[in-house]
Structure 1
Amino acid sequence: MVISAVDKMTDKRKFCSSSLNKRSNSCPNFIIKMWIYPEGAPRAIKLKADVSLVEDLDDLAGVLTQEINVLRNLDPQQFVFLDNENRRLASGTDITLIRTTDKVPLIVRYQLSDRRISVDFRYSRKSGSCKIPHSSGSFSLLKEEVMKQFNDLQEYDIYFLHEMSSTNIRDTFNFNYLIINDAQLKSNEYQLRLKVMIEGKKSFSEWELNEVLAKVLGNKYLAVNQMPVLDLQRLPVATLSNKNLKDFSKELQRVFRTYRKETNTNEQVCREYIFLFLRFAVHYAILNINNAIYITNEWVLKGTRGNGPVDYIIFADAMIVLICEAKADNMEKGLAQLLVQLHSAVENFATTGPNPKMYGIVTTGTSWRFVCWTGSLEDPTIYLSQQFSCNFQGDLRTETNILSFIARILRDQCEPVHD
């Protein structure tokens, strides 16, 4: 027969009462005060417990269902006890060993329903999902799952945005409110889609151009047309062989035909064209400039102004030499993102000296614009090229010029390393 914690306590009370009739000091008054925090409640609650009747947390679970309103009529076997660092405590933990205060209470996690919560979440262009029980700890469990799946977020304090309702979710109360009021219920399962946010920081994709001009560049330029022109022809010469150019043109036309001459239907198609330019330029640079050059994509860049994965980064050894931001159509939005990415790159990777320099490209695959950041983070000078347009037809002169410009940037960035 299974004896409940309440039954066990009743037996102890009978024993204690009987003993007291025989000898008044047989059952001393072991009353202790404990601070209990039902997870998600407004505050901790002070509970008086007689440890002559309660030996461990398993016993305490039964007491809580009688003494704390929010826990009444709940199954005590579903309770999970946590310390102030969110570590799980064993149900057999001796209650006399637990020290609590109103600021460091014993946390009780409890079941809210027998349903599960299915969450799809995304951070920048990365996505994940998980299924968690519907309990007072669902919000904490969700944060733990996100941290497991996105390792680069572990050093940050995260919260969530429910975009359908434009609601920021920062705590258990608001998460549970969202579940009840906005989550879809299908087959006994709540379903949610959330965006992962970093407290105190924007992702690169959240910046708008007017914000960048004001907050990142300090209103040095009131509009992009006030930026000095980046003259790509003045960069060190990078002479691609006729074979390089011929192979590049053939590959470009092959991609063009593959997509039925579509150039800007979506971002994935744009990336096909963009990566082709970068790949040929990097291959040229490896053979002719620096064999430590390489390209990577979706590399996570972190800075004081923004963070998140970058579409393409070209490195020489461990140094960033070029950043490329790909957009399906919005060049202005792409330029805003790129400028914040350049700020983060200079912040983390620029060589020491009075005038660090970093290059970037914003492109849709058909439209290209080059940026050069020089100077300090506090007082940079931003050079911006004209916009080049490609149609991937005819003599491909503009396309080969763009390839040459990328190679020139790589030479300009990498050659000083060997001087």
Structure 2
Amino acid sequence: MTNADSQPPNSIITMWILLEGKKRAVQVDLDQINYENRSLNLDRLTLVLKEEFNELLNIERSDIEFFSLNGHNTLTPLRSGTLLTEIVTTDIAPLVVRTDSNDHGGRFLDLKIQIKGKKAYGDWTLKEVSKEIYNDAFDSIESMQIFEIHEIFKLDPPLNDDGLKRFEDNLREKMNIFHNEVTTNEATAREFISVFLSLAVNHVRACNDPSTRLKVEVELDGSRGYGVLDYGVYIQKIPVLVTEAKPYESEKAIAQTLVQIHSAAESLLGKRKRSEQTMFGIVTTGRSWRFIRWNGSLECPKAEITQEYPCIFENDMKEAKRVVSYIVCVLQAQAKSLNKEKPCAKRLCTDDKLG
């Protein structure tokens, strides 16, 4: 299907554009109303791209070349008169923009390296992740560096008694509805996971950063992986915590989350122009929780993992309260790191004790 077949009523064309040498493609919306007879072609596209990308601002239009990219990492030159409605683009098969026609060999090699290492999050194995992204730092879950959340973070402000009471009630209700079965399948596990994430996001949104938002089944695209996050917590529109829900823990789930965190780090570092950052992920069955910490740079990332935190949904639910407090700690730390915390909002929250 071409862009013409899916043309919306307002004549907006969305294309995936990759500036050769960049880490990944980006989406660009093009208003075709300003072009007569629906004849927006690649030559006219140069005018739009020069406004969209600072890198092209001082480049002559005649020095800009276009290529299509197929699934075999092969570039095919496109004529400047090619209509945009004849071009199909995706995040993994973007329209490639080249500005230096004198160095085809070197630039083409760079492009192949970028695309070659990218695949769906679920297709990665732990050993592949370690070798291709984390510099062979581990070869199993057991060989990963361990970290303890309670030694790093402190609740600020803590969860209040009313919130914890609702948390307990919601978990007891879920246990009653599902006859104490938490890990029957992924859909059931998500019913319990959502209770944890909802409380944590609501608390941080009220007390630390009002932009905090929970998203479910959200697309996240990076230079090494692409696909859908089970859960993503966003602060200032940046994914600061990714969560993978599984009915049972596996190396595959850990590997998937490690690549997702790397994509989230690319999103943050790209927008904030920082060289280093700390990011987090969670792998959980609902009953068992593990936290992953990513830090360092995109070129030399480091990954650490916590011990397994089991939750028993009975009596005082001490374990579940501890886990939800850790989620809050992580989000509060991310909110502070983004320098968006509003101290005045803390007056809405009251002290509480997790026991």
- Give the letter for the 1:413 counterpart: Q
Which of 122, 138, 147 is 1:221 aligned to?
138
CA deviations on 1:1-27 (whole Å, 9 max, x unpaired) are: xxxxxxxxxxxxxxxxxxxxxxxxxxx
- The letter for the 2-side match of 1:315 is Y
CA RMSD of aligned residues (A): 2.3
TM-score w.r.t. length of structure 1: 0.52
Judge conservation of contact 1:331–1:363 (CA < 8 Å) in 2. Answer: no
Counterpart check, 1:314 vs 2:250: no
Conservation of the 8 A alpha-carbon contact between 1:331 and 1:364: no
Contact 1:252 1:273 in 2 (8 A): yes
8 A Cα contact 2:276 2:295, kept in partner: yes
Q: What's 1:359 paired with?
A: 280
Residue 182 of structure 2 corresponds to: 263
- 1:329 corresponds, among 202, 226, 248, to 248
2:123 maps to 1:209 = no
What residue in structure 2 maps to residue 346 of structure 1?
Answer: 265
Taking a change above 3 Å as real, the CA distance of residues 257 and 388 of structure 1, as seen in their structure-2 partners, is same
* Alpha-carbon distance, 1:413 to partner: 0.4
Q: Distance in 1 between matches of 2:263 and 2:249?
A: 22
**2:134/2:300 contact within 8 Å kept:** yes
Matched residue, 2:155: 237
Match of 2:299 in 1: 378
> In the TM superposition, what are the counterparts of 1:15-414 in structure 2 within 5 Å?
154-157=90-93, 201-233=118-150, 234-238=152-156, 239-350=158-269, 351-414=272-335
The 1-side partners of 2:141 and 2:315 are apart by 31
Deviation at 1:199, TM superposition (A): 8.3
What's the offset of the Cα at 1:200? 6.8
Q: Are positions 1:418 and 2:340 aligned together?
A: yes
Q: Which has the higher contact order (CA 8 A, sep 6+)?
A: 2
- Which residue identity does 1:338 align to in structure 2? T
Task: With the length of structure 2 as denominator, give the TM-score of the two structures.
Answer: 0.61
Query: Are the equivalent residues in 1 in contact too, given 2:141–2:251 (CA < 8 A)?
Result: no
Change (3 A) 1:293 1:329: same
| Unmatched 5+ stretches in structure 1 | 1-146, 148-152, 159-197
From the superposition, tell whether residues 418 and 228 of structure 1 become closer, same or farther in structure 2 (CA, over 3 Å): same
Secondary structure of the equivalent of 1:225? coil
Contact 1:157/1:199 (<8 A) preserved: no
Distance verdict in 2 for CA 1:358–1:251, change over 3 Å: same
Q: Which amino acid in structure 1 is aligned with residue 292 of structure 2?
A: V
- Aligned-partner SS, 2:241: strand
- The one-letter code sitting in structure 2 at the alignment partner of 1:245 is L
Q: Would you say the 8 A contact 1:298–1:310 is kept in 2? A: yes
Identity %: 32
Counterpart residue type for residue 90 of structure 2: Q
Q: Distance in 2 between matches of 1:361 and 1:200?
A: 23
Which structure's residues are more often strand, by fraction? Answer: 1
Distance across 2 between alignment mates of 1:291 and 1:200: 36
With over 3 angstroms needed to count, the CA separation of the structure-2 counterparts of 1:298 and 1:199, relative to structure 1, is farther
Q: Deviations over 1:364-387 (max 9, x none)?
A: 111100011000122112121110
**What letter matches 1:418 in structure 2?**
K
C-alpha separation in 1, matches of 2:125 and 2:91 = 26
> Which SS does the other structure have where 2:146 is aligned?
coil
User: How far apart are the structure 1 equivalents of 2:340 and 2:228?
Assistant: 30
What per-residue deviation string (whole Å, max 9, x for no partner) do you get for residues 134-159 of structure 1? xxxxxxxxxxxxx8xxxxx734349x
Give, in whole Å, the separation in 2 of the partners of 1:378 and 1:415. Answer: 24
Structure 1 runs (4+) deviating above 4 angstroms are none
Which has more radius of gyration?
Answer: 1
Tell me the distance in 1 between the aligned counterparts of 2:278 and 2:117. 27
TM-superposition CA deviations, 1:318-362 (whole Å, max 9, x none): 111111111121332111100000111112223433321111101
Q: Which residue is 2:103 aligned to?
A: none
In 2, Cα distance between equivalents of 1:346 and 1:207: 18
Change over 3 Å in CA distance of 1:155–1:322 after alignment to 2: closer
Q: Distance in 1 between matches of 2:117 and 2:161?
A: 51
Determine helix, strand or coil for the equivalent of 1:224: coil
1:314, distance to aligned residue in structure 2 (A): 0.5
Say if 1:240 and 1:155 are closer, same or farther in 2 by CA, change over 3 A. Answer: closer
- Cα distance in 1 for residues equivalent to 2:248 and 2:137: 27
| 1:332–1:264 CA distance, 2 compared to 1 (3 A) | same
TM-superposition CA deviations, 1:136-191 (whole Å, max 9, x none)? xxxxxxxxxxx8xxxxx734349xxxxxxxxxxxxxxxxxxxxxxxxxxxxxxxxx
